Structure 1
Amino acid sequence: MFSRSLLMLAGAGTLALTLAGCSAEPADTHPDQPVTKRREIFKSFTRSFEPIGQVARDRKPYQAAEFLAQAQALQKLADQPWALFPADSNYPPTRALSAVWDKPAEFAQASADYRQKVDALVAAAQGSDLDRIKAAVSQVEGSCRSCHDAFRKP
C-alpha cells in the first residue's frame, strides 16, 4: 500500500517529466554541441558582467578589488565563444542570425571590438577613476548591444 505522500511525489515527478518533454526548444544534437557550449559561455559573460553593471548604475557599492576581479573574469571569457560558431552550427536551438556566417568579416570585427572594450574595462578597473570605469562599462554594454542587434535573433 502506497502512502499518500509517496503517491503525491510520484505524481509530481511525472508532471515534471511531462513538462520537460514539452519544451519548445530543440536539443543541440550536434556531436560537439557548439550551440550549447557557446550559450554557456555567454551566460558566464552575464554572470560576470551583472555585478559590474550594478556598480556602474550605482545599484551596488564600488569595491575596487571585487570590481577588478569581475572585469578580469569577463576578460578571461572574452575570447572563448567565437570559435564555437563553425559553419555547421547554424541550426536550432541557435539564436544566431545567418549574418554570423554570411558576413564573417563583420562578425569577426564585432567580436574583436568586444574583446577590445573588455580589455579597456580591465585597464580602467586597475585605476580608481570611477567616471572612467563607468564609461568603460558603457562601452562594453554598447558592444554587446550592437553585436546582438546585427547577429542575434530577438
Structure 2
Amino acid sequence: MLTPVHAQFAKPEDAVKYRKNSLFVMQQHWARVGAMAQGRVPFDAKAAQDNMDVVSTLAKLPWAAFTEGTDKGDTRAKAEIWKESAKFKEAADKFQAEVVKLNAAAKTGNLDNLKAAFGSAAPTCKACHDNFRKD
C-alpha cells in the first residue's frame, strides 16, 4: 500500500500545481466511475476497478500540498483550510475512507455495490468543495 506523500516543495506555487494536478486527474477517473454508478454510461466492471485503483492512489496525494503560504496565487483554496485545519483534515480523512469503500465495491464487479458506495462517497467530495473551495 502506498503511503501519503509528505512532499517538500521548493516554492508555494509548486505545491499549488501539485495539488491541483493530482485533484484534476483524480476527478477525471472519479467522473468515469460516477457516470457508471449514475447510469449515464454502461457499467463496465473492469473499467470501474481500473478507475478506482487510480482514484485510490490519487486520493492520498493532494493533502500534503496544502501547506502554509499556498493560499495565494492560482488557487481556489479558501482560507478556511488553514483557519479550520482540523475540520479540513477531518473532511479529507472522511473522503479517503469513503474512497477505500468505493474501491472495494468496484472490485466486487457488482453495479449495485458500486452505486451504493458511490452514493456514500460522493457527498464527502461535495462537502469538501462546498466548505473549502472557491467557486
Check whether TM > 0.5.
yes
Aligned partner of 1:80: which letter?
L
Q: Which structure 2 residues correspond to residues 19-98 of structure 1 after superposition, within 5 A?
A: 30=11, 33-98=14-79
Structure 1: gaps spanning 5 or more residues: 1-29
Following TM superposition, where does structure 1 have runs of at least 4 consecutive aligned residues deviating by more than 2 angstroms?
none
Name the aligned partner's letter for residue 129 of structure 1. N
Larger Cα Rg: Structure 1 or Structure 2?
1
Aligned to 1:143, what secondary structure does the other structure show?
helix
| Counterpart Cα distance in 1 of 2:57 and 2:26 | 10
Deviates more, 1:105-114 or 1:135-144: 135-144
TM-score after normalising by structure 2: 0.87
Would you say how many aligned residue pairs link Structure 1 and Structure 2?
125
Identity of aligned pairs, percent?
30
| TM-score normalized with structure 1 length | 0.77
Deviation at 1:139, TM superposition (A): 2.1
Deviation at 1:31, TM superposition (A): 5.6
Structure with the larger RCO, 1 or 2 (CA within 8 Å, 6+ apart): 2
Gaps of 5+ in 2: 1-10
Q: 2:116 aligns with which of 135, 141, 145?
A: 135
Other-structure match for 2:80 = 99
Root mean square deviation of aligned Cα: 1.3
